[in-house]
Amino acid sequence: MVCADDEAEQIGRQLPEVNANCLITYRRMEDLVFNAPTGKVALVILAANDDPAVTQRTLKWLRHRWHGCPITVVSGAGGEEHEMAARKGGAMYLASPVEPKQWSAMVSHVLNQPAQRSNVAAESDDE
C-alpha cells in the first residue's frame, strides 16, 4: 500500500478480521517500484497524491508485474484525473476519505478469496 499513516492504520485494522496477511506500506509509488515485495501479492492500494501520469505508469508496471492482482486507487476531492488513470489501468477507484466500512468490504472481498491469500502491498502518501 502506498499511503499516509492513517490510511495504513485503517487497513491494518481489517487484516486480523480476515486472516494472517502482511501489510507492506510505502510513502511514494517510486518506492514500491524500486523495492517491490517478493512472492505473492493479494492486493495493491495506491493512495498517494502523486501526479496522475505517475499513477498511470505505476498501474502499467503493476499489471505487468502482478497480472491478476486487484488494485485500488484512492484520491481526494478533485481527483478526476486520478480516477481516469485508475479506470484506464484496470484499477478500482475510491474517493477519499474512505469510510471504514468501505475498507472492510474491499479487504474482506479480496482476501477471503482462497486463490489470492498472501501478502498485501500498500503504498503511502507523501507528507
Q: Is residue 1 situated within a structural domain?
A: no
Give the count of beta carbons closer than 10 Å to the beta carbon of residue 36.
15
Residue 60 confidence (pLDDT): 93
All cell numbers assigned to 91? 484499477
Q: Is residue 3 situated within a structural domain?
A: no
How far apart are alpha carbons 8 and 53 in whole angstroms?
A: 23
Residue 114 confidence (pLDDT): 44
Of the candidates 11, 35, 44, 31, the residue with the CA atom closest to the CA atom of residue 118: 44
How far apart are alpha carbons 66 and 49 in whole angstroms?
A: 22
All cell numbers assigned to 114? 482462497
- With H, G, I as helix, E, B as strand and everything else as coil, classify residue 110: helix
H/E segment holding residue 32 = helix 29-34
Residue 61 confidence (pLDDT): 92
Query: For residue 61, what are the domain limits?
Result: 8-71+81-122
Q: What is the pLDDT along the chain (127 residues), one digit of tens a residue?
A: 777 666 777 777 666 666 656 778 888 888 888 888 887 888 888 887 788 898 999 999 999 988 888 998 988 766 788 889 999 999 999 888 888 888 888 887 777 754 333 344 444 444 3
Give the count of domains, the chain: 1
Q: Is residue 41 situated within a structural domain?
A: yes
Q: Is residue 127 situated within a structural domain?
A: no
Q: Is residue 40 situated within a structural domain?
A: yes
Residue 113 confidence (pLDDT): 53
